[in-house]
């Protein structure tokens, strides 16, 4: 059975102390309350990573991830952080291709393909984000957009590398807006993604791929969303900044 995952994306929030306080609460709640096989991941700003990895050793159900990595191995890229650096502090995951990176930092599918390669090279698991904008949905090209993001971003991988990925479908119009995709809308895209993976890599790899939903996920709507056959968990922004809400979302899989 494929892995169920609830991943938090703190984005550019929380100073060092605030991050440690929130994470300590999450560790305690996860240890006390998570009884299923689900895995909980916290993707923090870079400044927190090392400390969170240390605190997270108290739970086998928790991992830590970054929110971005540079595409180069190392070099004269002032202000950037490499995949090797992220792995060296013990983080295990990295979000790549978040729509905010695509939108505000001009990240293209072609650039993201390079980031995916270097992350895998350094044993980081990419949480690869895809999803259409409102204009693209209204123009009814959302399936094309998603297919292109898959093809150009990750379908260059061979099957054994591809099998390591986590995918997150995040409709851009649902991120931070309070508007969630309906469970039927989300499931329709998730099965589309899984079928595309099956066509490229075969049914068994497709069936093993964890595909998360993201976009205004909260403790009230999580059970309905995660109850869909092809939704294997969530990538949680706003609600991951409150320990109670975040762990309540993860508890859906208990």
Q: Smallest distance, Å, CB 134 to ligand PGA?
A: 14
56 lies in the site for ligand PGA, by CB under 6 A = no
Report d(CA 180, CA 123) in Å as an integer.
33
Residue range at the interface with ligand PGA (CB under 6 A); choices 49-57, 79-87, 137-145, 231-239: 231-239
Which is closer to ligand PGA, CB of 187 or CB of 221? 221
171 lies in the site for ligand PGA, by CB under 6 A = no
Which is closer to ligand PGA, CB of 56 or CB of 237? 237
Say how far residue 99 (Cα) sits from the centre of its chain. 11
DSSP letters, the chain, are: -PPPEEEEE--S---HHHHHHHHHHHHHHHHHH--SS-EEEEE--GGGHHHHHHHHTT-TTEEEEES---SSSSSS-TT---HHHHHHTT--EEEES-HHHHHHS---HHHHHHHHHHHHHTTPEEEEEE---HHHHHTT-HHHHHHHHHHHHTTTS-HHHHTT-EEEE--GGGTTSSPPPPHHHHHHHHHHHHHHHHHHH-HHHHHH-EEEEESS--TTTHHHHHTSTT--EEEESGGGGSHHHHHHHHGGG-
Q: Smallest distance, Å, CB 78 to ligand PGA?
A: 27
Residue range at the interface with ligand PGA (CB under 6 A); choices 46-54, 86-94, 146-154, 236-244: 236-244
Which is closer to ligand PGA, CB of 118 or CB of 225? 225
Query: Can 98 be counted among the known catalytic residues?
Result: yes
Q: Using the rule CB under 6 A, which residue among 23, 29, 238, 253 binds ligand PGA?
A: 238
Residue range at the interface with ligand PGA (CB under 6 A); choices 27-35, 45-53, 199-207, 235-243: 235-243
97 lies in the site for ligand PGA, by CB under 6 A = no
Residue whose token pair is 């540079």: 70
Q: How many residues bind ligand PGA (CB under 6 A)?
A: 13
Query: Can 170 be counted among the known catalytic residues?
Result: yes
126 lies in the site for ligand PGA, by CB under 6 A = no
| CA-to-CA separations, 24 to 42, 58, 134, in angstroms, rounded | 11, 10, 37
8 lies in the site for ligand PGA, by CB under 6 A = no
Which is closer to ligand PGA, CB of 43 or CB of 154? 43
Report d(CA 252, CA 245) in Å as an integer.
11
231 lies in the site for ligand PGA, by CB under 6 A = no
9 lies in the site for ligand PGA, by CB under 6 A = yes
176 lies in the site for ligand PGA, by CB under 6 A = yes
* Binding positions for ligand PGA, rule: CB under 6 A: 9, 170, 175-176, 214-217, 235-239
Q: Which residues are catalytic?
A: 98, 170
């Amino acid at each position: 059975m494929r892995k169920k995952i609830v991943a938090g994306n703190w984005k550019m929030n929380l100073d060092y102390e605030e991050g440690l306080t929130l994470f300590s609460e999450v560790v305690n709640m996860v240890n006390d309350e998570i009884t299923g096989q689900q895995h909980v991941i916290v993707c923090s700003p870079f400044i927190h990573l090392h400390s969170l990895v240390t605190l997270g050793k108290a739970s086998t159900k928790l991992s830590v991830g970054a929110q971005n990595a540079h595409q180069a191995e190392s070099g004269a890229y002032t202000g950037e952080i490499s995949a090797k650096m992220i792995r060296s502090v013990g983080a295990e995951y990295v979000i790549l291709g978040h729509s905010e990176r695509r939108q505000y930092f001009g990240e293209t599918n072609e650039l993201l393909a390079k980031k995916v390669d270097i992350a895998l090279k350094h044993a980081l698991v990419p949480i690869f984000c895809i999803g259409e904008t409102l204009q693209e949905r209204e123009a009814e090209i959302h399936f094309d957009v998603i297919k292109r993001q898959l093809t150009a971003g990750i379908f260059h991988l061979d099957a054994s590398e591809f099998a390591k990925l986590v995918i997150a479908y995040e409709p851009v119009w649902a991120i931070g807006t309070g508007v969630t995709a309906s469970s039927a809308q989300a499931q329709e895209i998730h099965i589309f993604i899984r079928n595309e993976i099956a066509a490229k890599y075969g049914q068994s790899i497709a069936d093993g791929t964890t595909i998360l939903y993201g976009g205004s996920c909260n403790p009230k709507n999580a059970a309905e969303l995660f109850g869909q056959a092809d939704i294997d968990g969530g990538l949680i922004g706003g609600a991951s900044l409150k320990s109670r809400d975040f762990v309540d979302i993860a508890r859906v899989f208990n």
